[in-house]
Each structure stands twice: as structure tokens, then as C-alpha cells.
Amino acid sequence: MSTTATIAVMRALPKSVAYARKDLAKRFSLLEDWEITINKPFPAVYDSFLLHAEGHTLTVKRYISTKEKAICDGNTLVPEQILGIKTVIGALVHDPLYLELEAFAKAMGWTIAKTRLFADAVFGNILLQLARREPNYIKRKIGIAWAHISYAGVRALGGFAHWLYATTALILIATLATGCSGCMQIVVEDEWATPNYEQTEGGNNDNGS
């Protein structure tokens, strides 16, 4: 690496660290119970402080996410919305599912891997359905591509972060903009209403939120 490039990286590093700290401090709360319809019935009933699963219905229960109790921190290190599409909505259910991954898996008789796949698919489906609801053609196509990219990210990285794959984003957008029906398992019916939520901790770090 050249001296100029090294200096540029060193200068950018404090800003990147500050951005990450601000982003990771964000918390989102669900102000009312939110129901999602699943296309296949759950094999068992699950009930906890955060979730209720029975039949075809997954209910995310009202929760308050604080600095001390981080139930939902939004989309880690990526925008909470893309071209006005509020992708943070996917995290409102994905984060609680990850918090209870082992208990949920045990109740359903699933492996941890299968349960994580389900949680990631729910996250991706929400983003995909949000994008498909967008009336603007360009925004809809970019939103659909972003949903697939985000799904690929959580599959690759699990709960560690929602994003460390920005360098491949443009390639993936180019590949996926025409559609990628085989990339993501569809588990959520597009019948859910927009949840009532708000940001309860952390400031705006200029990432679109």
C-alpha cells in the first residue's frame, strides 16, 4: 500500500469507528404486538416474553429495547432504509428470533441451523415484500436486489453483524436486479400490516434512518 493510501486509511479510521459506535448504540422498540402469517404451520406451540408461534401465526410481542437491554439494534452498520423502504422492519422480528434461537429450536424440534435459516428467511422475506410494495419501478427493483443481498449477508454472518459484504454489493445488485427467485426460501405470506415501532436509543448517524 502506498504512503498516500496509508495516510488516507489512517485518517478515515477514526470516522469509521465513530460511525460504528453510533450505529451499534441504536435501539428500536416494538410498540404493539405484530403478527406475521407463515405459509406452513409450526410443528408446535412456542410462547415466551418476546414471541408466540402457533399454527400459521408468528406474533412478535411488544418490547422496549434500551441501552441496557438490546432486543433490537436495527440493521447493523447498514441503512435502516433504502430509497425510503424501511428495511429496519425486518430486524424487528429477526433480532428477537436470534435472541431465543435455542429455545425456539427446542420447542419446534428443529436444529439450531434450521431455526437460524428460518429466522434469516423471515428477515429476507420482510425486506423482499416491502420492496415489492413499492410503486416506483426503479426503487422496487433496487429494493428487491437489496433484500437478496441482505439475506445473503445474514446467512453468511449470522448474529455477528448484518453487514461486512459491502465490497460485493454492486456485483450482487447487477446480478440480482432482474430477480432471484431461487435464492431465498419464502416462508412469510405477504399479508402483514406495518408494525408500530420507534427508535428508542441512539442518534441518527446519517445512514438513512
Per-residue pLDDT of the chain in tens (209 residues, 90 and over written 9): 445 444 443 444 444 444 455 556 799 999 999 999 999 999 999 999 999 999 999 999 999 999 888 899 998 767 788 899 999 999 999 999 999 999 999 999 999 999 999 999 999 999 999 999 999 999 999 999 999 988 988 887 764 444 444 434 444 444 444 444 447 899 999 999 999 999 998 766 444 43
| Rounded CA separation 62/24 (Å) | 21
| Rounded CA separation 69/82 (Å) | 27
Q: How many CB atoms lie within 10 A of CB 132?
A: 12
Cell numbers at residue 184, please? 431465498
Q: What residues does each domain of the chain span?
A: 26-201
- Full-model pTM: 0.79
% helix, strand, coil for the chain, step of 5: 45, 15, 40
Cell numbers at residue 32, please? 404493539
**Pairing status of strand 34-37 against strand 27-30:** unpaired
